[in-house]
Amino acid sequence: MKGIRFFALLTAAALALSLTACACASNASTGEPAASAATGGAMDSFANCAPMETLEPDWNTEEYSHMDENGFHAAALSPLSTFAADVDTASYANLRRMLLNGQEVPADAVRIEEMVNYFRYDYPEPEGDAPFSVSTEIAPCPWNNDTLLLRVGLQAPQPDWEAMPPSNLVFLLDVSGSMDQWNKLPLVKQAFLLLTEHLRPGDTISIVTYASSDRVVLDGATGDEAETIQAAIEDLTAGGSTAGSRGILTAYELARKHFIPGGNNRVILATDGDLNVGVTSEGELVKLIEEQKKDGIFLSVLGFGEGNLKDNKLEALADHGDGNYAYIDSVLEAKRVLLEEMGGTLFTVAKDVKFQVEFNPAQVEAYRLIGYENRLMDAEDFADDAKDGGEVGAGHRVTVLYELALPGSDMEVPESDLKYQETVPTGSDEWLTVSVRYKEPEGTESRLLEYPVGQEQVRDTPSPDTAFAACVAQFGMLLRDSEYAGTATYQGVAEQLASLPGINYDPYRSELLYLVRRQAGKG
């Protein structure tokens, strides 16, 4: 496995460098490094490359859902923190695109949980028949001396390709006029051509396109008809308005027509989200998707392009369609999402996954969940199987970070003004309990897992994975101009990243270091 992983890293590094070589040009007046997916061993080579000329259009109608950043809660007043799992990674790839183009990053485009979950972590594999493992760690918080950092890590089993069920996939591709840009339909075609190279004979592929109207391009081809599938993709052209809702209905009809009992039945939507004919509002699209998913068909959403990206609609579709959302800004990212992360992208191992963390006020005075603002749930929704959670795919991992203020710290926390009741600690030495609910992919009733956390999880020095996740969180808080960023600076985060073991041998982590250094250089 180590050899395979190392070969994968070398492949990604070579591709990153080849893309960079095409984009770089010298610029003596700036001396800044160029936009790239940098690998650590080649970091110095970017010093002589200038930034790519921005490809941002003169107009910008991109849309992002507004969210208010999570604040601190007193454990005595609000001991329960409840939210849905989220394995989406779109936010990181999208803001990377903006940073490399020299654009300002809108605060609402920064979803810290998606930044943190973009990266791999060395979490333990699940044991037995468990759908995932859960590990925890508490360590000093690098940006606030008055708090500690709690890291919760969930890891799904790595995919066993020989045991994976056959797939019934419907490619739902936007070919409207807005997709007629180099980083939209041409990139969509390259991404799906990559995916077709790994189909199996038992897989079924259908293709639906939509512009002014929807069209069935391919109806139930088998995985061993690769040439037919690839020819259908290569022949696609862009033009017309965007009747996305019609395409969604047709795609789900085909998915039901070729439904494989016990298989992986999924619609994969590729678009910039700029729907302008038929059902177009976010609320109406959510209702449409929620109705369609009732037949056990999952949804993956891939966002493309810039200037008119409707991130809010795409994220909502994925969240309510029992699926995931990724943003594709390059062939390298398409390779990561559709090949390296294929198990997580295509094969669901647990659905409606929810977290609920109960804090012991005798041990934790206050807490703050970092990220997951648009995945928060009411406490009573945790045990309500009618309420949707998040979906976790094969090989996926979910990382959750909390800031913790202990009794006696200098943190200001909300005080109780309750007149008729008060919290009486039980005397337990436990700090908190992490509870997880999930359903089997075809199940309707949730199962409960509980993990008490106490002093035994406290470390004087964070593990490399916790330290890295903390760096990603700081980067996100700085980009959001967060009031909770404390002492964090771009330069400080860069130094923390550079000190971590193996940073130069992971192309994705070293790319983050490059981005942080680039931001530090602007200060």
> Per residue of the chain (523 residues), what is the pLDDT tens digit?
433 333 344 344 444 433 443 333 333 333 333 333 433 343 433 333 333 334 455 567 899 999 999 999 999 999 999 999 999 999 999 999 999 999 999 999 999 999 999 999 999 999 888 889 999 999 999 999 999 999 999 999 988 877 889 999 999 999 988 899 989 999 999 999 999 988 999 999 999 998 877 899 999 999 999 999 999 999 999 887 765 678 888 999 999 999 999 899 999 999 988 765 455 566 777 788 888 888 889 999 999 999 889 999 899 889 888 889 999 999 999 999 998 888 778 888 999 999 999 999 999 999 999 999 999 999 999 999 999 999 999 999 999 999 999 998 888 877 766 667 666 777 789 999 999 999 998 899 999 999 999 999 999 999 999 999 999 999 999 999 999 999 999 999 999 999 999 999 999 999 999 999 999 998 6
Considering the domain architecture, whether residues 217 and 301 belong to the same structural domain is answered as yes
* Residue 474 belongs to some domain of the structure: no
**CATH number of domain containing 453:** 2.60.40.1230
pTM for the whole structure: 0.87
Q: Is residue 495 a part of any domain in this protein?
A: no
Return the closest-CA partner of residue 372 out of 399, 393, 391, 351. 399
| Residue 220 shares a structural domain with residue 298 | yes
295 and 220 co-located in one domain? yes
- Residue 400 domain boundaries: 73-89+107-159+349-413+428-463
Q: Is residue 151 part of a domain?
A: yes
Identify whether 481 is part of a domain.
no
Residue at token pair 């959001």: 480
Q: Which two tokens stand for residue 364?
A: 């934790």
Cβ-count burial of 46 within 10 angstroms (0-12 exposed, 13-18 middle, 19+ buried)? Answer: buried
| 322 & 221 share domain | yes
Are 295 and 356 in a shared domain?
A: no
Same domain, 282 and 393: no
> What pLDDT, on the 0 to 100 scale, is given for residue 243?
59
Q: Would you state the pLDDT for residue 322?
A: 85
Token representation of residue 474: 């700081």
**Hey, is 88 helix, strand or coil?**
coil
Euclidean distance between CA atoms 177 and 179, whole angstroms: 5
Quote the tokens at residue 131. Answer: 């759908």
Residue 289 φ/ψ, nearest 5 degrees: -70, -40
Q: Domain check: are 195 and 304 in the same one?
A: yes
320 and 197, same structural domain? yes
Q: Which two tokens stand for residue 95?
A: 């803001």
The predicted pLDDT at position 321 comes to: 86
Rounded Cα–Cα distance for residues 78 and 14 (Å)? 50
- Distance CA(306)–CA(179), nearest Å, equals 10
Distance from the Cα of residue 135 to its chain's centroid: 20
269 within domain boundaries: yes
Tell me if 252 is assigned to some domain.
yes
Q: Which run of H or of E encompasses 139?
A: strand 133-140
**Does one domain contain both 326 and 376?**
no
Identify the DSSP state of 195. H
Report d(CA 400, CA 135) in Å as an integer. Answer: 11
- The structural domain count of the chain equals 3
| Beta-bridge partners for 439 | 351
Residues 198 and 307 reside in one and the same domain:
yes
**Same domain as 170, residue 302:** yes
> Which of the listed residues 345, 380, 400 is the one where a domain comes to its end?
345
Q: Is 48 exposed, middle or buried (0-12, 13-18, 19+ CB in 10 A)?
A: middle
410: DSSP letter = S
Q: What is the pLDDT of residue 418?
A: 66
Angle, alpha carbons 451-465-455 (nearest 5°)? 40
